[in-house]
Amino acid sequence: MKVVLVGVGQAGGKVTQALAEFDERMGFGAVRGALAVNSAKADLQSLSIDTCLVGQARVNGHGVGGDNELGAEIMQEDVGEVMGKLDGRITAEAEGIFVVAGLGGGTGSGGAPVLARELSRIYSVPVYALGVLPGRDEGALYQANAGRSLKTLVREAESTLLVDNDAWHGSGDSVGDAFDAINDAIAQRVGLLLASGEAVDGVGESVVDSSEVINTFREGEISALGYASAAASEDSADNINTAMSTARQALFTGTSLPDARTADAALLVVAGKPEALPRKGVERARRMVEDETGSLQVRGGDFPLESDRLAALVLLSGVERSERMEEFMQRAKEANSGETERPGAPGDQFQNDELEDLF
Ligand SMILES: Nc1nc2c(ncn2[C@@H]2O[C@H](COP(=O)(O)OP(=O)(O)OP(=O)(O)O)[C@@H](O)[C@H]2O)c(=O)[nH]1
Ligand SMILES: [Mg+2]
């Protein structure tokens, strides 16, 4: 799936750069362009991809300090500049635009939904979102921001792929220390998903096509990505069980939203050396994903790749109904009502606990 990435805010810019670098290093050619947009000048200066500073008139290059309403306003005011930077880069070969952002901050949280809306208005290719959710231990402001941002993003983007900051960092690390590791994990896993069906020689019937990735991202839905890998044998017959066990691990312990396992639609991709890929194992694992997710629309296929390992990627769509998502939205609502509560302010007792859209 050939994509153009637009990162918004600090997390958005760093994840976008990590994805572009992974794609380049692997020689996949799925990432056709990458731009980082931020209201904080210093954060853009540490990136090597193209950048666009917004909101200079309002915040003078210092970021919005977690105020996502200001983040949305700034993006609205300066969206013309962002569009100008993208001009000519979203060519006919692009199959999607990904707006990438941490949803808990200010610039990315507020700016990503605005940008998704504007890009959708201008371009005919689908505009997807890749959103990073704050971990459980991040503060109330992050939870509240992310809840409102997510609600609006889901409305504006074709489909929203979420990574929870608690999901892919090594055990023991705090979220803060682990950002680089998380970003590398996102780059590798999302990068492999985007590259499925790209840069593959000798396309066979069982090879995943990028249209299968695109068709698994369903309109208006939230998706999650599972990943696991294991050492592979040279002989495909010996890898049947490995395909099954890595697929199970990807689904049960490796998803970007911990414990999200219900899905409307799913895609299983098994990557490894062409001669080591066990067709039978992939089909068995695909049926396992059907059983475990309760979805009858589970696509499956392989991704021939020079590696001594076998990797399983599981894309799940429709995870908004998972327990994890409900738990997050509850946390966001509580944080939101707490945050706006001022002692003695009239009307507090009537505070609606529903999250308002950002715009
Ligand atoms: N995975 C990951 N998450 C990050 C990273 N940097 C920040 N975050 C998370 O993203 C959220 C904060 O968003 P940022 O991107 O820092 O904020 P911003 O969009 O730059 O907004 P302002 O700084 O308020 O202008 C929090 O939930 C952080 O935990 C990163 O490099 N990787
Ligand atoms: Mg920032």
Q: Which helix (H) or strand (E) holds 33?
A: strand 31-38
User: Is 11's C-beta closer than 6 angstroms to any atom of ligand 1?
Assistant: yes
> What is the overall mean pLDDT for the chain?
92
Residue 159 pLDDT > 50? yes
How many residues would you count in the chain?
359
The DSSP result for 12-29, as a single string, is: HHHHHHHHHHHHHHHT--
Q: Return the amino acid letter for 206.
A: S
The pLDDT value recorded for residue 212 is: 95
Closest ligand 1 atom number to CA of residue 66: 24
Ligand 1 centroid to residue 310 C-alpha, Å: 32
Report the share of the chain in percent with pLDDT over 70.
92
Residue 15 pLDDT > 80? yes
Q: Measure Cα distances from 210 to 1, 96, 200, 234, 276 in Å.
A: 5, 11, 11, 27, 22
Return the structure tokens found at 335: 């944080």
Name the closest-CA residue to atom 17, ligand 1. Answer: 105
Name the closest-CA residue to atom 31, ligand 1. Answer: 11
User: Is 9's C-beta closer than 6 angstroms to any atom of ligand 1?
Assistant: yes
Instruction: Give the angle subtended at the CA of 257 by the CAs of 256 and 263, to the nearest 5°.
Output: 105
pLDDT-derived band at 353 (thresholds 50, 70, 90) equals low
User: Is 65's C-beta closer than 6 angstroms to any atom of ligand 1?
Assistant: yes
Ligand number nearest to the C-alpha of 75? 1
Ligand number nearest to the C-alpha of 101? 1
Between CA 339 and CA 349 the distance in angstroms is 14
User: Is 143's C-beta closer than 6 angstroms to any atom of ligand 1?
Assistant: no
User: Is 68's C-beta closer than 6 angstroms to any atom of ligand 1?
Assistant: no
Ligand number nearest to the C-alpha of 167? 1
Between CA 18 and CA 183 the distance in angstroms is 7
Ligand number nearest to the C-alpha of 66? 1
Return the structure tokens found at 122: 């201008």
Q: Give the residue among 125, 63, 69 at the shortest CA–CA distance from 92.
A: 125
Q: Give me the mean pLDDT over the 294-312 stretch.
A: 95
| Pocket probe mutation, ligand 1, options 8, 10, 52, 225, max atoms within 8 Å of Cβ | 10
Instruction: Give the angle subtended at the CA of 151 by the CAs of 86 and 255, to the nearest 5°.
Output: 85
The pLDDT value recorded for residue 350 is: 46
User: Is 132's C-beta closer than 6 angstroms to any atom of ligand 1?
Assistant: yes
The pLDDT value recorded for residue 206 is: 87
Cβ count near 151 (within 10 Å)? 17
The pLDDT value recorded for residue 199 is: 59
User: Is 107's C-beta closer than 6 angstroms to any atom of ligand 1?
Assistant: yes
Closest ligand 1 atom number to CA of residue 111: 19
* pLDDT digit string, tens, across residues 135-158: 999 999 999 999 999 999 999 999
* pLDDT digit string, tens, across residues 71-114: 999 999 999 999 999 999 999 999 999 999 999 999 999 999 99
* pLDDT digit string, tens, across residues 236-286: 999 999 999 999 999 999 999 998 998 999 999 999 999 999 999 999 999
| Pocket probe mutation, ligand 1, options 16, 132, 141, max atoms within 8 Å of Cβ | 132
The pLDDT value recorded for residue 338 is: 77
User: Is 7's C-beta closer than 6 angstroms to any atom of ligand 1?
Assistant: no
Residue 336 pLDDT > 60? yes
The pLDDT value recorded for residue 339 is: 58
pLDDT-derived band at 170 (thresholds 50, 70, 90) equals confident
User: Is 106's C-beta closer than 6 angstroms to any atom of ligand 1?
Assistant: yes
Return the structure tokens found at 175: 């979220």
* Ion ligand 2, residues whose Cβ is below 5 A away: 10, 40, 63
Answer whether 0.85 is exceeded by the pTM.
Answer: yes
Q: Give the residue among 226, 271, 230 at the shortest CA–CA distance from 252.
A: 226
Report all structural domains of the chain as residue ranges with CATH numbers, in order of start. 3-195 (3.40.50.1440), 222-317 (3.30.1330.20)
